[in-house]
Each structure stands twice: as C-alpha cells, then as structure tokens.
Structure 1
Amino acid sequence: MRPLAILGGTFDPVHNAHLRVAWEAAELLDAEVRLLPASVPPHRAQPVATPAQRVALLAAALAGQDRLRLDTRELDRAGPSWSIDTLIELRAEIGPQRPLVLLVGADAFAGLASWHRWRELFDQAHVGVLPRPGHTAALDAALERETRPRRVDTAAALREAPAGCVFEIDVTPLDFSASRIRALLAEGREPRYLVPDRVLADPALLAPYRTAAD
C-alpha cells in the first residue's frame, strides 16, 4: 500500500530546500507527500507571516505539479501544533493499515525526546529522517534506546507495517534556511534560486518579510 508522508514546519517562507527534500522523499518512498504548515509551532519562534500568507506561499510553490500537496489541518486546529495530534487525526482518516511516515530533519529528530508524547509517535507512524548539512548531534540515551531497534535499511520495509520504524532517507541536503531568506529580504536583496519562481514572480507573497524589516 502506498505510504502517506507528511512534512511539517512553519514554511516562513517556503523555499526550495523544503520542496526538494519533500520531492525526493516522495520519489524514494513512492509516497503521497503533504506539506503541513504549523499554526502554533511549539519548538520555535512564531512565524512572521500570517497563516493565510503562508498558505498563499505554499499554494504558489506547489502549483503545476501533483506529487506534493498542501494540508492545512494544523492551521484549522486551535492550540499548539502537536505532531501526535496530527498523526492521530490522519491515522483515523487513512485507516489502520496504510503506512504513515512523519518526515523530520536530522536536527529535529535529535530533539525528538522533547516532543509532546513523543513515544506515541511510533504507534501512529514511521519516522523518516532527512539529512541536514553540518548536523552531527548525538541522540540522547532515551531516544537512542527507543529508536535503535526500530531502524530499517530500505524504504520497502516501511510498506511492511503501518508504523513504528525509523528510516534515514538519502535526499539531497541543501544548506540554506528560511531565516537566511528572511535576512536577505530584510536587506532588500532578492532570494532568486532559493525560492520557487512562482513565489518570486508575485511580490505580494514575500511582502510580509520586507515589511517586517521596516
């Protein structure tokens, strides 16, 4: 059964590194991949752009292809955007058998033990770990104990169970971030080749980051 994979984040703004790792994960896992913008991210600063502005950015970025999709459920839900709540909701929708994959960067994965009800994540989904350039932090003891027996070496293994495995996905690591793009915009510079052309073509989409610098 074809997996459903989700990539969350603030997408403040969405950029080509987000899209490239999501695209490659979709290819390598042969999965439907959804991008889920967070409403109230519990582990980072609140977004500069509003939810509506970030949805508009993502809609523009995802136009013209059908491999990656936008899912706004976390924006529609009040309170912190806990991943466990999202996974439980998705699991109820897709049923108990379809593989569900939570995509996280290696830096976020290293801090997984600080997430809300983190051990329950494995009851609902597999975890697909995406490389982050320069990230070498070791896992803490509790996370290492929990994940060591869950590790698998092939994407095919994720199809053999609906949840519970950890798989490192060999995607192309791109070393830039949304904070870098916000800094460029604050300096009045153009983030060409860092954000999708459809985003760059509409000045209104990136206006919140220029305005925030004034």
Structure 2
Amino acid sequence: MAEQVGLLGGSFDPIHNGHLAIARAVAQRLALDRVIFLPSANPPHKAVDRLSDAEHRAAMVRLAIAGEPLFDFSDYDLTRSGPSYTIDTVAHFHRLLGSDVGLFWIIGGDTLAELAAWHRVRELVDNCRIVTASRPGWTTTDWSRLQTVLTSEQITRLRADVLDTPLVDISSTDIRNRVRQGQSIAHLVPEEVYRYIDAQRLYC
C-alpha cells in the first residue's frame, strides 16, 4: 500500500502543543504513516515582516518533534523563493515521494473559511486530501463561498474530511503576547521550545 503522509504547514511562530495535538489526532484518525511539519517562509496571506527569523522557527519545530517517530520536518518552503503556495508544496512532495503517495494537507477550521481565496484551489483539492481539524461542535457557514470556486464533488470530499480533534485553546499570537507581558508559557509549548524561546529571548 502506498505511503499515507500528512502535511502540516504554518508559520509556527512558535510551534505549540496545539499543533502537536492536532497532528497526532489526524494521524490516528486517518492511519497516516507520518506527518511532515513545514514552516512557511513567505505565507501569501500573512504579514511577512512580523514573522520571526526562519532559523528560529525551524529550530523550534525540530525541537518540538524530536523523539516523535511519527513526525518529520521539511525546510522546503523555507529554502525556495517566492510565496509559499500550497499547490506548489503538494506538487513537490508528489515528485519527491512518488505520484502514488497519499497526501493529506492539514488545516484548521478557521483556515477552511479562507480556502476559496487560495491559489489554484480547485487543482489543489484534486491533488491531495484537505483535512480540516475542527473542534467538537464546530460549524462553518462558508460552504457557499467555496461553492463558487469548487465543484459539488469537491465540496463533498471536503465535508467528508472535517474531523473532530482535541479542544486545544492555544494560539501562537497569544503565546507571543504572554512572553511580552512576562507571563508563563511553559504549559503551552514543549519544554525544549520553552527553553529555546527563553534562551534566544524571542518575542520580548
């Protein structure tokens, strides 16, 4: 059977326990062989000048997933030029891992609402499974917007891949704000990431 691989992209500024919990839950639900974490270099929908250095974000991801046999790291989006369009990343992993590999792009419920604006989204949905990690009881009213850019069959597949995942109320923005305010983040990030943020004086 072909390998089944999850792809979890994001700024990871910083990576936190919520990211890891979602990756574990999706991997378990879909019987994935591994999940690859992909820090973004130049996310098209984010203010790039506000991101921490790629070196720091990559280091924190590596520390967070160390010792987790299910998790891998890729710097593909960090080392290529231009915006980090998901369709290009998916095409890269099909070339790297083989055309028969099953690729699962993992997003959160808030990201699903933005999917209609993604670059070449119809092609993307046909080249990987987009898995939405939602909180129990979460609903979206944005299907009508997606229906303007996707076929009914594509919408059906997207709906089928909305998964209930652990309720983890953590955000990278909140973590950065807590550091600036001198509040503890030890319970929000892996211990090694906490030590790295402290040693490098990030977000101060």
TM-score (norm 1): 0.84
Go from structure 1 to structure 2 and tell me whether the alpha carbon gap of 1:50 and 1:127 turns closer, same or farther (over 3 Å shift): same
Which residue in 1 is equivalent to 2:14? 13
8 Å contact kept, 2:64–2:193: yes
The equivalent position to 1:106 in structure 2, one of 106, 109, 125, is 109
1:48 Cα deviation (Å)? 3.1
CA distance in 2, matches of 1:11, 1:90: 20
CA distance in 1, matches of 2:131, 2:194: 30
1:201 aligns to what SS in structure 2? Answer: helix
Deviations 1:173-193 (A, max 9, x none): 211200000000000112011
1:140 Cα deviation (Å)? 4.6
Which residue in 2 is equivalent to 1:161? none
Which residue in 1 is equivalent to 2:123? 120
Aligned positions of 1:125-204 closer than 5 A: 125-132=128-135, 136-144=139-147, 146=150, 148-150=152-154, 151=156, 166-202=160-196, 203-204=198-199
Write the letter of the residue equivalent to 2:65.
Answer: L
1:34 aligns to what SS in structure 2? Answer: strand
Which residue in 2 is equivalent to 1:155? none
8 Å contact kept, 1:130–1:168: yes
CA distance in 1, matches of 2:72, 2:64: 10
1:80 aligns to what SS in structure 2? Answer: coil
CA distance in 1, matches of 2:97, 2:110: 28
1:201 Cα deviation (Å)? 2.9
CA distance in 2, matches of 1:121, 1:166: 16
Which residue in 2 is equivalent to 1:58? 61
**Could you say what the CA RMSD is over the residues aligned between the two structures, in angstroms?**
2.1
CA distance in 2, matches of 1:124, 1:4: 13
1:200 Cα deviation (Å)? 1.6
TM-score (norm 2): 0.88
Which residue in 1 is equivalent to 2:27? 26
Q: Which runs of 5+ in 2 are unaligned?
A: none
Go from structure 1 to structure 2 and tell me whether the alpha carbon gap of 1:70 and 1:100 turns closer, same or farther (over 3 Å shift): same
1:86 aligns to what SS in structure 2? Answer: helix
Go from structure 1 to structure 2 and tell me whether the alpha carbon gap of 1:36 and 1:117 turns closer, same or farther (over 3 Å shift): same
Which residue in 2 is equivalent to 1:69? 72
Go from structure 1 to structure 2 and tell me whether the alpha carbon gap of 1:187 and 1:165 turns closer, same or farther (over 3 Å shift): closer
8 Å contact kept, 1:127–1:166: no
8 Å contact kept, 1:102–1:128: yes
Go from structure 1 to structure 2 and tell me whether the alpha carbon gap of 1:193 and 1:113 turns closer, same or farther (over 3 Å shift): same
Q: Which runs of 5+ in 1 are unaligned?
A: 153-163
